[in-house]
A and B are shown apart, each in its own frame.
Chain A
Amino acid sequence: MSAMLQSILSAQFGFAVLRVMTPLLFPAVGVAISGLAGSVNIALEGIMLCSACAGVLVSAFTQSLWLSLAAGLATGIGLAALLGFFHLRLKADIILAAIAMNMMAGGLTIFVLFLATGEKGSSSSLTSLVFPLVHLPLVRRIPVLGEILSGQNVLVYGAFLAVFLYWLIVFKTPLGLRIRAVGQNPDAAQSVGINVNRTRMWALLLSGFFGALGGLYLAMGYVSWFARDMTAGRGWIAIAAASLGNNMPLGTFLSSLLFGVVNSLAIYLAPLAVPSEFIQMIPYVATALALTGYSIQAARRRRKL
């Protein structure tokens, strides 16, 4: 038990937390930005999956990181655009349309994987690339902190950058102002000449962009292959993370970090003799509990107003 405690209190654990947090943080930022515009993108589970698949396949067949990055991003943004088209132009309920897209992603990725490799489980027969690790020049010298922060995959830093970018977009650009206005009161926004649908489309495209990065990291950084349903509910946990963070940059980051810690704990506890089913359950139970706690808090706050 004390050995367990020691390993949890070590720098490696901090390192693992950042690794585990990244595929939650990217989609959480994506959910947050679409939620801020008032059209929550719950299709990120599927978008991540498709981007991961596209990235792995393109990298396996071209051996080019840039091309696979482009393919992953194009897939994610393209799917977000499709969702936007169905929701905003064809007036589909965004929740139902997103459920359909998530379903499609589950089947389509296996379908494409089978056509490309003849297998339905994973892309392990292909040699696909991973994004490089980065050793931070000065930070790596700092004891403990250096061990946690340096030597991560480039997309881990990308996730931090995504939070910053999100803050920049939302609070420092005209688009961000429009997004917030549309989310708070679409009619009022419309009355001052803001194109509600176009603004929401932009927010959805951005959410697809961030989700795509999460998917790419998952298959080309976190692990180095694509496997069916490999997102394993991260897209859903991200929705909870974004709502816990009130769709704000810092809040979304902190709640993603929290879930990152919980999920890493689950990984660290795995060797203990408890049935593995319970370990695997932890991320979902923790998220459900956090969501419940948050909802109760929010309800109390409403009552006070």
Chain B
Amino acid sequence: MEKFILKYFNLLRTIIAVLIGIVISVFLIFLISRDPGFSLQQFLLGPLLSRSRFSSMVEMASPIIMCGLAIALAFQARQFNVGAEGALYLGAAVGTGFAVSTAMPGFLHLPLTLLVAGGVGALWGFLPGLLKARWRGSELVASLLLNYVGYYLGLYLINFHFRDKNAGYLVSYQLPKSAWLAQFIPNTRMHWGILLSLAFAVLVFLFLYHTTSGYEIRMTGANEKFARFGGINVFKVVVLSQLLLGLLAGIGGMSEVMGIHRRFNWQSSPGYGWDGVVVAIIGRNHPLLIVAASFFLAYLRVGGQVLNLMSDVPAEMVTVIQSIIILLITAEAFLAQWRYRITVRQAESRGEAA
């Protein structure tokens, strides 16, 4: 048992943090709601009980996975670039512009549109990366500012150049059918973009743990000085990790547009980039854990929406809970005493046996 705890300590710690978050949300619901039992049931079971809600949970996980992978690439290199939000928004806006103003067969249109969005996103990740690598400027602050710039730039593009004036509300023209990601389960909104994001999770996993560049990224993150002495091109790592961040975020945003609404309809930023930060922290920057964390976050989100609709508890409760969870997970010393005690006890018992 104790060996098991030691081996999976980080995972257990994460699970405990998540449980604490859920306990707090139960507490909040009891504090606020006039009918807490019903509200609680809606919150925890709501996302699972209907086909459409389950579908919206799965489809919501997709851009979150992409942004989580994106952020993880930068965080693995200890680059605090949080620019996924801006890269996703601007990338999707430009990608939409590209898709609606070009005509070509689907086998070209689909990948090219994703590539354009990813390319613009990559540029958005590259800028803070360059600032950091070349002049040691703060990539954190730069990416935060670029989030705003990307948002307004994307909004301008859509509202002034690609806006469908006949739609009745502020959205872009509809994408041509050749740039649609189709549904793979009929009568739901689950589209190929979801499978694409799962494929990317595997790709990023292979990249980080089975390629030289991935090793360099992790090594730089673990100890930059050591990496430099070991002959790793830190400049390249810093720029590449953030460039890839933008690339993934851009593709994630675009595939959402291509798979669900087929129009760009975000008048305000959708927040997936920040969700990406959350799942990267919960999943401790590991691509496969990030997938699990994304489904969990999407589950909470949809639960929050159901709660908002069906009861008197606002959906923002989920934001509060998720922040508490990641705050606990980032706290290195949280439960460290527990591990320490087990380690000591094990060492002692081994000493007695000898």
Q: Which residues of A contact B (CB under 8 A)?
A: 42, 86, 89-93, 95-97, 99-101, 103-104, 106-108, 110-111, 114-115, 120, 233, 236-237, 239-240, 243, 275, 277-278, 280-281, 284-285, 287-288, 291-292, 294-296, 298-299
B320 to chain A, nearest CB (A): 5
Instruction: Tell me, yes or no, whether B341 is within 8 Å of chain A by CB.
Output: no
Verify B142–A278 contact, CB threshold 8 A: no
Verify B135–A298 contact, CB threshold 8 A: yes
Verify B149–A285 contact, CB threshold 8 A: yes
A contact residues around B137 at 8 Å (CB):
291-292, 294-295
A108 and B316 in contact, given A275-B156, A281-B153, A292-B131 (Cβ under 8 angstroms) = yes
Verify A99–B141 contact, CB threshold 8 A: no
A contact residues around B326 at 8 Å (CB):
96, 99-100, 103
B contact residues around A92 at 8 Å (CB):
327, 330-332
A contact residues around B327 at 8 Å (CB):
86, 92, 97, 100-101, 104
Instruction: Tell me, yes or no, whether B4 is within 8 Å of chain A by CB.
Output: no
Verify A299–B318 contact, CB threshold 8 A: no
Taken together as a complex, chains A and B put the C-alpha atoms of A239 and B80 apart, in Å, by 15
Taken together as a complex, chains A and B put the C-alpha atoms of A239 and B316 apart, in Å, by 27
Verify B144–A100 contact, CB threshold 8 A: no
Verify B332–A91 contact, CB threshold 8 A: yes
Verify B330–A277 contact, CB threshold 8 A: no
Verify A86–B145 contact, CB threshold 8 A: no
B132 to chain A, nearest CB (A): 9
Chain A CB count within 10 A is highest, among B82, B326, B331, for B331
A285 to chain B, nearest CB (A): 6
Count, A-B residue pairs, CB within 8 A = 137
A contact residues around B278 at 8 Å (CB):
103
A114 to chain B, nearest CB (A): 4
A contact residues around B318 at 8 Å (CB):
107
A contact residues around B314 at 8 Å (CB):
110-111, 114-115, 120
B contact residues around A240 at 8 Å (CB):
141, 145
- Judged by DSSP, the binding face of B is helix
Verify A281–B149 contact, CB threshold 8 A: yes
Verify A111–B152 contact, CB threshold 8 A: no
Binary per-residue interface labels of chain B (136-164) against chain A in the complex, 1 for a CB within 8 Å, 0 otherwise: 11101110111011001101100110000
Taken together as a complex, chains A and B put the C-alpha atoms of A296 and B326 apart, in Å, by 34
In the complex formed, the residue of B with least CB distance to A238 is: B141
Verify B319–A288 contact, CB threshold 8 A: no
A contact residues around B144 at 8 Å (CB):
233, 236
A96 and B141 in contact, given A90-B334, A284-B149, A292-B131 (Cβ under 8 angstroms) = no
Verify B330–A86 contact, CB threshold 8 A: yes
Verify A106–B319 contact, CB threshold 8 A: yes
Taken together as a complex, chains A and B put the C-alpha atoms of A294 and B142 apart, in Å, by 12
Q: List 6 A-B contacts (CB under 8 A).
A: A111-B319, A120-B316, A233-B145, A281-B149, A288-B145, A299-B134
A284 and B145 in contact, given A91-B332, A239-B138, A299-B134 (Cβ under 8 angstroms) = yes
User: Which single member of A103, A107, A281, A298 contacts B317 (CB below 8 Å)?
Assistant: A107
In the complex formed, the residue of B with least CB distance to A287 is: B145
Q: Which residues of B contact A (CB under 8 A)?
A: 32, 80, 82, 131, 134-138, 140-142, 144-146, 148-149, 152-153, 155-156, 159-160, 274, 277-278, 281, 314, 316-320, 322-324, 326-327, 330-334, 336
Chain B CB count within 10 A is highest, among A107, A110, A296, for A107
User: Which single member of B134, B140, B142, B320 contacts A104 (CB below 8 Å)?
Assistant: B320
A89 and B333 in contact, given A107-B320, A236-B145 (Cβ under 8 angstroms) = yes
A90 to chain B, nearest CB (A): 4
8 cross-chain pairs, A with B, having the tightest CB-CB distances, nearest first: A107-B319, A295-B137, A104-B323, A90-B331, A277-B156, A91-B332, A295-B135, A284-B148
Verify A91–B134 contact, CB threshold 8 A: no
Verify B145–A111 contact, CB threshold 8 A: no
B123 to chain A, nearest CB (A): 14
Taken together as a complex, chains A and B put the C-alpha atoms of A93 and B281 apart, in Å, by 11
User: Which single member of B82, B281, B317 contacts A111 (CB below 8 Å)?
Assistant: B317
Taken together as a complex, chains A and B put the C-alpha atoms of A108 and B314 apart, in Å, by 10
Taken together as a complex, chains A and B put the C-alpha atoms of A90 and B332 apart, in Å, by 6
User: Which single member of A103, A110, A288 contacts B274 (CB below 8 Å)?
Assistant: A103
Taken together as a complex, chains A and B put the C-alpha atoms of A277 and B161 apart, in Å, by 13
B contact residues around A295 at 8 Å (CB):
131, 135-138
In the complex formed, the residue of A with least CB distance to B325 is: A100
Verify B134–A277 contact, CB threshold 8 A: no
Taken together as a complex, chains A and B put the C-alpha atoms of A89 and B134 apart, in Å, by 34
Verify B333–A90 contact, CB threshold 8 A: yes
Verify B138–A110 contact, CB threshold 8 A: no
Taken together as a complex, chains A and B put the C-alpha atoms of A95 and B330 apart, in Å, by 10
Taken together as a complex, chains A and B put the C-alpha atoms of A291 and B145 apart, in Å, by 10
A263 to chain B, nearest CB (A): 13
B163 to chain A, nearest CB (A): 12
Verify A108–B319 contact, CB threshold 8 A: yes
Interface contacts beyond A108-B316, A281-B148: sample of 14 additional A-B pairs, CB < 8 Å, sorted by A: A90-B331, A95-B80, A103-B274, A107-B317, A107-B320, A233-B144, A236-B141, A239-B138, A239-B141, A284-B148, A291-B137, A291-B138, A295-B136, A295-B138
Taken together as a complex, chains A and B put the C-alpha atoms of A218 and B20 apart, in Å, by 34
Verify A291–B141 contact, CB threshold 8 A: yes
B contact residues around A284 at 8 Å (CB):
145-146, 148-149, 152
User: Which single member of B138, B323, B334 contacts A107 (CB below 8 Å)?
Assistant: B323
Taken together as a complex, chains A and B put the C-alpha atoms of A285 and B147 apart, in Å, by 10
B190 to chain A, nearest CB (A): 28
Verify A111–B333 contact, CB threshold 8 A: no
Taken together as a complex, chains A and B put the C-alpha atoms of A239 and B87 apart, in Å, by 21
In the complex formed, the residue of B with least CB distance to A45 is: B144
A contact residues around B320 at 8 Å (CB):
104, 107-108, 111
A124 to chain B, nearest CB (A): 18
Taken together as a complex, chains A and B put the C-alpha atoms of A292 and B135 apart, in Å, by 8
B255 to chain A, nearest CB (A): 24
A94 to chain B, nearest CB (A): 9
